[in-house]
Structure 1
Amino acid sequence: MRYRRRLRSRIIISFALFGLGLTALFAVATVYMRTRLEDQLVNTTLERELRHFVDFKRENLSPDAQFPMSLIQLQIVRAGRTATVPLAWQSFEAGVYDIEDIGREGKTRPYKLAVYKDADFWAYLRFDVSTQKLGERQLLTVLAASVLAFAVLSLLIGFWLSARVMSPVIELANRVRAMSRSGRPELLKAHFADDEVGQLAAALDDYSTRLTEMVQRDREFNADVSHELRTPLAVIASTTELLQGSPELTDKLRERLRRIERAVRQSSELIDALLLLSRRERQAPTDGETTDVARVVEQVVDAQRPHVANKPVEVRVEIEQPLETVAPSSVVAVALSNLIGNAFKYTQAGEVIVTVGHGRVTVEDTGPGIKPEDADKLFERGVRGTTVGKGGGLGLAIVRRLCELYGWHVSLAPRPQGGATATLEFVGTRPG
């Protein structure tokens, strides 16, 4: 996700950059126009005055002459006679040039040199532009100070405007945050004006109302499903228990009743787990008790054995170390039932090894296996591996959600000897 600045910061920065850019552009344009116009005016004036002086000289004076002034030094000679002309000036053709020369105080100063040449006279006019350069530097200093002052002013105005503009948004965010913490929905539109923020508050009110209704319907549905399913399951369980006590039952019927009893227990455990997932409630055993994982594994293996049926599959349960976890036995049973049940269903021959110990339960099988690139995808809802048959792809997704709820970790990986390995690692466990 790409990083974005806060809206208030963006308003302040945008306003400051806009003010800085606008004043800087104005300052540059001012300096450019002043320099261009001043330079054009000085050049035009020098050339005009030099021509007038040459005309005056042609009409009134014949010998060479030099007329020193405070800012202007004017010298006119006969064409080609440059003995009295400074050496640095002699190479210039007609026109106006920027030069530096030594002033009367002995310091280097900037000048404009206007040169006029015709068949009779060569004229040179040097104009002192140090005053104009000083004025230009002063103008630049003033403009730089103005740009800085306007930038600071723009920044202050940006802070003030952002505070005014963002205050309703901040208030809306605070009210939504307070409502989220308290868990009590509150209508937000009444606290804001009928503007963009008010429209956002109205949209949030509408969304909150629909979300509250949806949550309420979901809670009622969960309660109804829990009640309506538990009642017939309880009836089936009690009836099955009574039938098992009958002396007239054959061994085959008695085994079928035990399968019904196991299915009822699995259904009850699944209902408990799904209700916890729907409510996002992490429930622990009562009175601080823990669940014996090894005992649950044995029960799950016994309940899932019908999936092996008459297949040539050896099932081994190895308890390397007793293991307990702080979670209801129904949740542990649902998570393990999916892992062990998949191993039983997809293994056509060979063995299934369930190992308990060292904070985890490992289920290894010699079934068709899985591809390494499918290992993580199989826990997504509706995704199934390419090596298995049809199905909804929901079992492993339920296991992953249970693990997220209790902080456990589940993984699948190809088995080096062939088949697959499923590992359920418990966090917050302790040896038995």
Structure 2
Amino acid sequence: MNVASRIPIRWRLTLWYAGLLAMVIVLFSLTLYVGLRQILYSMLDESLHQQAALVASTIQVVNGVPDLPGSNARDFTTGEHFVRLTDLSGRTVDGASSVHGRLPVDQAGLSQALSGRFSMRWVSTDGEQMRVLSEPVVSGGQIVGALQVGTSGTEVVETLQFTVLLLAIAGSLILLAASLGGLWIAGRVLQPVDRITGLAAEIEETDLSRRINLNLPDDQIGRLARTFNGMLDRIEGAFRRQHQFTADASHELRTPLTLMQNQIELALRQPRDPEEDRAVLEALAGDLDRLTRLANALLLLARGDDHAIRLHHEAVDLPVVLGLIAEQYGPVAAEAGVTFRLDTEPAMPRADQDRVIQVLVNLVDNALRHSPAGTEIVLGCRTDDAWASFWVIDQGAGIAPEHLPHLGERFYRIEQDRDRARGGIGLGLSICKMIIAAYGGTMAITSSPGTGTSVVVRLPALTAPSEGLAPERKKASAPSATLASTGLQTPARRN
């Protein structure tokens, strides 16, 4: 872990903000300084140009030597400007001798002027900065001397130095004030995060009902709090389902185990005739069958949770499968006074035939369990666009609306359906939902008291024979053979 990661986020935000602001202040100060210096230098140079033009207009050349009238020279050398006029040899003309002591000799500028070039240079003398203009004096097309005009630049230099000092002080104060303000704002903005962190640290596994109620606006922090609350809802629901699942599974396992133990102890305590022993063994076989079905169902659901179920894709002929289901369950239905009615159209989903039969067996078993004598169960299928649908519709007592959202939850059973003698373990619809979802399908259950129940399953339809399926479609196997491999209850085992 580096040092930066140990710094609190409010300080990191403040440092980033202060760093960016410092860069802005420095760039602004540099721009202001360069612009001000350019303006002051331009004003200074412009005054020198004007003074040089004024002096040049009064220069007189006598015998090839430039000269200034004495009265004019004194006028030029008073005030802010200083003037020097030299001949071609660089000697100061006598007419400007009164300023010789005030104007420092700019030898480089003088040499350039005598060679015909113009120059504007800074010259330092006795701790004073002077701006000196040097230009040639031309007469008759010939260079006869040089003119130097200078003025003090101390005021300009001091102005620039004061500007730098002012910018440094003002920038530092602004940066300090902005940093403190940014630190305070960051603390206020992140305060809800600290409260969320504190509340999250207080939430324990034994109490997942607490939520973050800070009345936050609809911003990033508010959405974070709502997302966190949503996550807590899901975690609480998962823990509740896990607890309920464990309790229900333990209860489901304990009941047949207790019955088996009681029957074995009773058989061992007193001698029995063969018929009684046979009855005990049949009861034990029934309890073992229930335990086996429960174990297989739990194993299948666990594999589904881990996405470890092997999915086979093949063409499933739904009319054929529904016909086999009706034929297999015919004797059981006839014994209960229930009839099957087939309402099939060509439909062929892309799925595993054994898994489809497994879903249908669960649905038909539920329908038979809740269908009174003299009613019928409709088994149907059809193709609708890209979906192959099949359904199981009964005319039973129906289901109250408050139970519909919970159908498919593991071990969820309606109170009147808790008769274990009828064979239900509360996992059939959970297995159906898992299998259907694994193939990208949906299952819809509609029901109301007194009108029966309708379960419609939709699976992706087989759209073309080139979807990677085997050339020969597998022949539909009997439901009992399919259930034998899964351990689920077959009609012959129903009591």
TM-score where L is the length of structure 2: 0.43
TM-score where L is the length of structure 1: 0.48
Q: Which has the larger radius of gyration?
A: 2
